[in-house]
Amino acid sequence: MGKASRDKRDIYYRKAKEEGWRARSAFKLLQIDEEFNIFEGVKRVVDLCAAPGSWSQVLSRKVYLPVKLAPDAKDEDLPLIVAIDLQPMAPIEGVIQVQGDITNARTAEVVIRHFDGCKADLVVCDGAPDVTGLHDMDEFVQSQLILAGLTIVSHVLKEGGKFIAKIFRGKDTSLLYCQLKLFFPVVTFAKPKSSRNSSIEAFAVCENYSPPEGFNPKDLHRLLEKVGSPSGVDDTDCCSGRLEGPNKVYIPFLACGDLSGYDSDRSYPLPKVVGGTYQSLDPVQPPIAPPYKRALELKKGTSQGGGIRELENLTLDS
């Protein structure tokens, strides 16, 4: 699909370029904020799986820049935003970048060090593995990213704080909901208007972080494993004990974003240009080292007769 054709078919892709966002995902976070007011009072944030950086841009514009540009701004009042991804990303004002794997304990330690004993008000996670198209597999890998996010949450989020995480809806959605409910009394699964209906993605909006009394982050996985087991953690809680049947747990599911606004599943006509033809804008900031970069270089090499063996090896290794 060419850029102009995509501009027509994907209104949020076009709007992202017009408004200076690195990815259309920016609108998802903005629409979640419209419904849940997630940035109110936020001074410290962790952005997990942040590249190419559109959520970090939203955080910079909504949380950092208003304080930085205030007439009486002081350095010590500046908000702290830490963004982590496997991939490097181009700098964003007010955002500290950490390159690493969020499932790795050492990455969590680096994040915690940045907070220097203070706690975050908000943790967001838009992590997505390379989708295979096998729904069960994709849902499973996605849930591992959320659990890695929850590990970081258990170390850095302050009581009362919020956690927003991308989920893939599937057969284990109720289990995930119940696991999140162990730590957050209010959990809503939200579908922003900018997220296509055809996509199984949604976002868990978890409010008012309240870990169980005496909770030790070292026990996180043991605690999560108990959810849904016959001898659940606390039989008085609707989310522990057996998860029998589809009616056992009712998950609040909410569409968010201006419902009369742009529909991500619709094509929109391109803007009329006086005296010329429509020119598609370039992306604001292409990824600086995407995982497919080497493959593209090798593919170019193949067309000149070189690189075939290395490309074969790369394909076999990945």
Per CB under 6 A, residues contacting ligand SAM are 22-23, 25, 49-55, 84-87, 101-103, 126-129, 145
Name which of 16 and 176 has its Cβ closer to ligand SAM. Answer: 16
Q: Confirm or deny that 126 is annotated as ligand binding.
A: yes
Omega before 269 within 30 of 0, i.e. cis: no
The owner of tokens 């170019």 is: 300
Q: N- to C-terminal Cα distance for the chain?
A: 26
Closest separation between CB of residue 18 and ligand SAM, Å? Answer: 17
In order of 83, 124, 187, 195, 287, the CA distances from 110 in angstroms are 11, 17, 28, 31, 23
Name which of 133 and 269 has its Cβ closer to ligand SAM. Answer: 133
The owner of tokens 């007439």 is: 71
Q: Comparing C-alpha atoms, which of 112, 110, 109, 107 is closest to residue 127?
A: 107
166 is catalytic: yes
Dist CA 206 CA 188 (whole Å): 7
Amino acid letter, residue 61: R
Name which of 129 and 217 has its Cβ closer to ligand SAM. Answer: 129
Closest separation between CB of residue 287 and ligand SAM, Å? Answer: 8
Closest separation between CB of residue 134 and ligand SAM, Å? Answer: 17
C-beta separation of 196 from 262 below 8 A:
no
Q: Confirm or deny that 21 is annotated as ligand binding.
A: no
DSSP letters spanning 143-172 = HHHHHHHHHHHHHHEEEEEEEEEEEE-STT
CB neighbour list of residue 12: distance below 8 Å, 6 or more residues apart: 24, 27, 194, 262, 264
Name which of 51 and 176 has its Cβ closer to ligand SAM. Answer: 51
Name which of 23 and 157 has its Cβ closer to ligand SAM. Answer: 23
Closest separation between CB of residue 245 and ligand SAM, Å? Answer: 33
In order of 22, 39, 189, 296, the CA distances from 252 in angstroms are 31, 21, 6, 43
Q: Confirm or deny that 138 is annotated as ligand binding.
A: no
Name which of 38 and 51 has its Cβ closer to ligand SAM. Answer: 51
C-beta separation of 130 from 123 below 8 A:
no
* Whole-angstrom Cα Rg for the chain: 21
DSSP state of 61: I
Closest separation between CB of residue 308 and ligand SAM, Å? Answer: 27
Q: Confirm or deny that 10 is annotated as ligand binding.
A: no
- Of the listed 8, 28, 166, 181, which one is catalytic? 166
Closest separation between CB of residue 81 and ligand SAM, Å? Answer: 13
Q: Confirm or deny that 55 is annotated as ligand binding.
A: yes
Look up residue 284 and give its two tokens. Answer: 């604001």
Active site residues: 166
Enumerate the known binding-site residues for S-adenosyl-L-methionine: 53, 55, 85, 101, 126
